[in-house]
A = this chain, B = another copy of it.
Amino acid sequence: MGRRSLLLLLLLLAFLTPGAATPVPPALRALSSLHLSTSFRSRPAVAMKYSIHYIQQKVDHFGFHTDKTFKQRYLIADKHWKEDGGSILFYTGNEGDIIWFCNNTGFMWDVAEELKAMLVFAEHRYYGESLPFGANSFKDSRHLNFLTTEQALADFATLIKYLKRTIPGARNQPVIALGGSYGGMLAAWFRMKYPHLVVGALASSAPIWQFEDMVPCGVFMKIVTTDFRKSGPNCSESIRRSWDAISRLTEKGTGLHWLSEALHLCTPLTESQDVQRLKDWISETWVNLAMVDYPYESNFLQPLPAWPIKVVCQYLKNPNVSDTWLLQNIFQALNVYYNYSGQARCLNISETATSSLGALGWSYQTCTEMVMPFCSNGIDDMFEPHSWNFKEFSDDCFKQWGVKPRPSWIPTMYGGKNISLHTNIIFSNGEIDPWSGGGVTKDITDTLLAIVIPEGAHHLDLRANNAFDPVTVLLARSLEVRHMKQWIKDFYASLRKMH
């Protein structure tokens, strides 16, 4: 989610706590709470039939004051599972409804038969139905206290031990962790911290280095910009010029009204604060397009054409036009994202992301552990300049959630760039995915591998096979399967050796 959802959040919070101020953080603040996983619904050839289950998990794996439990949801699909020589593919759920992720991870369904695999999709605590305190889960920092990566990994560990104990034939089978985006980080970290439970991990589009100063804070927006620059002549330049055009237009008395009409906004802009909200909403649209710039028609909040940025850029060929003309072009471009179906009667600047993603939980996570610095300078990228201001970010978090972010904790816990001692992790990244800037894109060792997909957007490899897939993603997937098979083979070899 971005600033729009953030504002929704703030409004929501203001509603919950009457009198609370609704601070207006800078645009880049919003980015830190961008949802990493904006998969589209795929249309797989494989029928996705699963059963739904629940396991009682400790609310707090790391403390004993409370012994409370909650129900974690998980899905199982075992059509192709074989007890003899089979495997378990374990999806490390991320910030959303697990059924939505399950339906958007066609890759696992596509390879199940070849790997004789049972598919398990584990929902992340505080998302979907897996709410530790039910409707009160997001009430305050006391109830949110157990929403951390460590607790989520402990849930996964407990679940795997439980499955092995209770499903006949599962005990002596290799488990592979798979995840995309934030879930990809979890898959990688799970292998690092619990190598006794999973033989390897496929971490797709996992920006495990988008923390502290491990990568430049501007890399994300730079990649977004490159995507637009390469998708059509003058495309990024048109967007770069649009910000000042908006400013100039809205300085005039009738500007807000004109712009509201020109962009067909559902709710007209009325005050100067709305201008920043508008810019943030437009920025996030470009960012989202970069994440989901898939090579075929796909369906997110609304349907999108194949290579949507190319379609967008058809409207942004000429930056040297008047402000009003430029903004009318911007409207056409936005319309590709928000109205490909042609059904929309107006554009709602309070919406960009599917409700299957857990906006509240993710906002809290970015304000605690998942502190990812973002910035733009307007030179290397097409956005307005925004520096990364941790102090301001931290203050906003405290106002919003009553917590203070700890930016150096994730690198302390998970090793930062010093992870070469771990084994059997594949980091796959699409080169056009802005999150690849914080990802592992070069092999670290023989068993910590990077796969780069030049035409790939956000975790394209985890999506179902598609006739329009570029050959690079097909190669990536076959490489991933080859490694997974090797892990499985190694597991059985060492099992035989033991007996």
Q: Which residues of A contact B (CB under 8 A)?
A: 58, 61-65, 67, 141-142, 144-146, 148, 150-151, 154, 157-158, 161, 193-196, 368-369, 403-404, 406, 408-409, 412-413, 415-416, 418-419, 421-423
Contacts and interface: CB of A to CB of B under 8 A. Distances in A.
Nearest to A149: B62
B419 A421 contact: no
A403 B65 contact: yes
A63 to B, nearest CB: 4
Contact of A404 (B67, B403, B409): B67
Contacts of A419: 196
Given A157-B412, A412-B158, A418 B196 contact: yes
A413 B157 contact: yes
Contact of A146 (B63, B144, B145, B403): B63
Contacts of A146: 63
Nearest to A368: B64
Contacts of A409: 61
**Which 8 A-B pairs have CB atoms at the shortest separation, nearest pair first?**
A196-B415, A65-B145, A196-B418, A64-B403, A63-B145, A64-B368, A195-B421, A65-B141
B196 A193 contact: no
A65 B142 contact: yes
A64 B141 contact: yes
B416 A63 contact: no
Copies of this polypeptide in the complex: 2
A266 B250 CA distance: 91
Given A62-B148, A65-B141, 5 more contacts: A64-B141, A64-B403, A157-B413, A196-B416, A421-B423
Given A67-B404, A195-B421, A421-B195, A62 B150 contact: yes
Nearest to A199: B421
Contacts of A196: 415-416, 418-419, 421
A490 B77 CA distance: 46
Q: Give the most central of A146, A148, A196, A369: most B CB within 10 Å.
A: A196
A247 to B, nearest CB: 37
B65 A62 contact: no
A371 to B, nearest CB: 11
A68 to B, nearest CB: 11
A60 to B, nearest CB: 8
Contacts of A421: 195-196, 423
A368 B61 CA distance: 11
A41 B465 CA distance: 68
Contacts of A369: 64
18 contacts: A62-B63, A62-B150, A62-B151, A64-B141, A64-B148, A64-B369, A64-B403, A64-B406, A65-B142, A65-B144, A65-B145, A154-B412, A157-B413, A161-B408, A194-B415, A195-B421, A196-B416, A196-B418
A326 B409 CA distance: 61
Contacts of A193: 193
B64 A404 contact: yes
Contacts of A422: 195
A415 B403 CA distance: 33
Contacts of A408: 161
Contacts of A194: 415
Q: Give the most central of A64, A412, A421: most B CB within 10 Å.
A: A64
A154 B61 CA distance: 15
Contacts of A141: 64-65
A67 B194 CA distance: 27
A404 B68 CA distance: 11
B412 A63 contact: no
Nearest to A414: B196
A245 to B, nearest CB: 41
A378 to B, nearest CB: 33
Nearest to A65: B145
A43 to B, nearest CB: 39
B148 A63 contact: yes
Given A195-B421, A421-B196, A423-B421, A161 B63 contact: no
